[in-house]
């Protein structure tokens, strides 16, 4: 029987494969840098020289250029969802930052509606997470994203949470306290990318503001107190091994702490982050853990059970997922 998976941390712009890029280019009359798959891959994939999250974030140019119209966004959601479904994913939370899709005049609201439209056209069970962005000029956009999340928030079948993405080393989590305090008081669930390009303190703040989950959190082991906080509060970590390797969130993958966190009883989940520019699948991530870290079938079940528990969806959907995955 083919394996079944859950992906809680996948960026729409980072999940555009060569095949999907060609589709979106054709659909919108956009000429791609190459018609040749291999050459196009070289434009799309993270280069070997990637040294940091900052470098990594520069790889989103081409995919974002293909998602600046309602048609492009809707089709991108559908194609990305269909693609992961074909790879065994049975539930996904797809995230994107509405403010990065306004170059051709769309409003954030139109972007969200286009993504919701794409969601209706796939058979994959999925939900959307709206990303706010770290940055110099994102404050107004972030407020609007939060307002849209309040307006469109559902328990399942649409927008279910917000996030904070972007350059964590340059724009500290503390800059976003007000935004997330307001999200918390409005009852909008959120996850925050933290402990990726910055250390454990970033995770501590995210939890203090009320984050239900942490994007990555791989660097919590820089402070044993934060490890204990995450364990004790059962805050799920959305871990993404290939992404962490590429952004050098962990200098040497021999020291990758995922198994250690699992052994400590931390709620670890395994996700892709950006399967398009990383040129991987979620199955590849699990294979990698099995091959190099002694990750067993029991670990796999634990991680998938954790993912179901951490999902921004209803108890009914969670029960269906547990049943379907025979967990
Ligand atoms: N961190 C922050 N922002 C991002 C990432 C990430 O790993 N992937 C896409 N946007
Ligand atoms: Zn991410």
Distance 243 CA to ligand 1 centre (A): 9
Residues having CB within 6 Å of any atom of ligand 1: 11, 14, 53, 165-166, 193, 196, 243, 273-274
In ligand 1, the atom with minimum distance to the C-alpha of 14 is 9
Ligand 1 mutation pick, 9, 165, 195, 249, max ligand atoms within 8 A of CB: 165
Which pair of structure tokens corresponds to residue 266?
């931390």
State the average pLDDT for the chain.
Answer: 98
CB-based contact 66:40 (threshold 8 Å)? no
- Judge whether 196 counts as a catalytic residue: yes
- CA 192, 54, 276, 35 dihedral sign is positive
Q: Which atom of ligand 1 is nearest to the CA of 247?
A: 7
Determine the pLDDT at residue 2.
76
Phi-psi group of 187: left, alpha or beta (phi > 0 → left; psi -120 to 50 → alpha; rest → beta): left
Q: 7: burial class by Cβ within 10 Å (0-12, 13-18, 19+)?
A: buried
The closest of 137, 144, 81 to 110, measured between CA atoms, is 144
* Secondary structure letter of residue 2 according to DSSP: -
Q: Name the stretches of the chain with pLDDT < 70.
A: 1
Secondary structure of 231-288 in the HEC alphabet?
HHCCCCEEECHHHHHHCCCCCCHHHCCHHHHHHCCCCEEECCECHHHHCCCHHHHHHH
CA of 85 to the centre of ligand 1 (A): 22
Cα 138 to averaged position of ligand 2 atoms, centre (Å): 17
Residue with CA at minimum distance from ligand 1 atom 9: 11
Tokens representing residue 272 in the block: 């892709």
Q: How far apart are CA 153 and CA 279, in angstroms?
A: 32
Q: Which ligand is in closest contact with the Cα of 238?
A: 2
Q: Which ligand is nearest to the CA of 96?
A: 1
Q: Quote the CA–CA distance of 305 and 238 in Å, as a whole number.
A: 13
Given the residues 93, 196, 278, 285, the one annotated as active site: 196
To test the ligand 1 pocket, which listed residue (274, 275, 276) has its Cβ within 8 A of the most ligand atoms? 274
Q: Which residues make Cβ contacts (< 8 Å) with residue 227, sequence separation at least 6?
A: 200, 220, 221, 261, 264, 266
The ligand placed nearest to the CA atom of residue 170 is 1
Alpha carbon of 323 to ligand 1 centroid (Å) = 32
Please choose from 195, 206, 243 the residue to mutate so as to test ligand 1's pocket, defined by most ligand atoms within 8 A of CB. Answer: 243
**What are the tokens at 310?**
């951490």
Bridge partner list, 296: none
CA 83 / ligand 1 centre spacing (Å): 20
d(CA 194, ligand 1 centre) in Å: 10
Nearest to 35 by CA among 48, 27, 43: 43
* pLDDT given at position 17: 98
Q: Using CA atoms, how far apart are residues 97 and 77, in angstroms rounded to an integer?
A: 13
pLDDT tens across 35-71, in order? 999 999 999 999 999 999 999 999 999 999 999 999 9
**For the whole model, what pTM was predicted?**
0.98
């Amino acid at each position: 029987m083919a394996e079944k998976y859950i992906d809680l941390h996948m960026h729409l712009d980072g999940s555009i494969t060569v095949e999907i890029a060609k589709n979106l280019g054709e659909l919108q009359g956009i000429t791609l840098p190459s018609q040749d798959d291999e050459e196009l891959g070289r434009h799309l994939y993270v280069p070997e020289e990637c040294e940091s999250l900052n470098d990594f974030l520069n790889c989103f140019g081409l995919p974002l250029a293909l998602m600046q119209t309602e048609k492009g966004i809707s089709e991108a959601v559908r194609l990305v969802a269909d693609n992961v479904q074909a790879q065994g994913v049975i539930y996904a939370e797809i995230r994107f930052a509405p403010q990065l899709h306004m170059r051709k005049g769309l409003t954030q609201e139109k972007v969200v509606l286009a993504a919701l439209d794409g969601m209706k056209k796939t058979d994959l069970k999925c939900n959307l997470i709206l990303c706010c962005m770290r940055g110099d000029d994102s404050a107004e956009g972030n407020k609007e994203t939060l307002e849209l999340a309040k307006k469109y928030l559902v328990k399942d079948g649409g927008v279910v949470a917000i996030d904070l993405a972007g350059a964590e080393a340059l724009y500290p989590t503390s800059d976003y306290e007000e935004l997330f305090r307001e999200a918390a008081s409005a009852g909008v669930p959120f996850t925050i990318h933290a402990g990726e390009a910055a250390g454990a303190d970033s995770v501590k703040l995210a939890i203090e503001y009320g984050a239900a989950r942490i994007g990555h959190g791989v660097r919590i082991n820089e402070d044993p107190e934060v490890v204990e906080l995450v364990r004790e509060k059962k805050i799920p970590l959305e871990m993404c091994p290939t992404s962490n390797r590429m952004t050098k969130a962990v200098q040497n993958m021999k020291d990758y702490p995922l198994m250690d966190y699992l052994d400590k009883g931390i709620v670890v989940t395994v996700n892709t982050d950006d399967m398009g520019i990383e040129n991987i699948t979620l199955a590849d991530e699990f294979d990698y853990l099995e091959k190099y870290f002694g990750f067993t079938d029991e670990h796999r079940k634990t991680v998938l059970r954790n993912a179901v528990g951490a999902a921004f969806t209803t108890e009914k959907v969670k029960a269906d997922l547990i049943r379907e995955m025979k967990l």
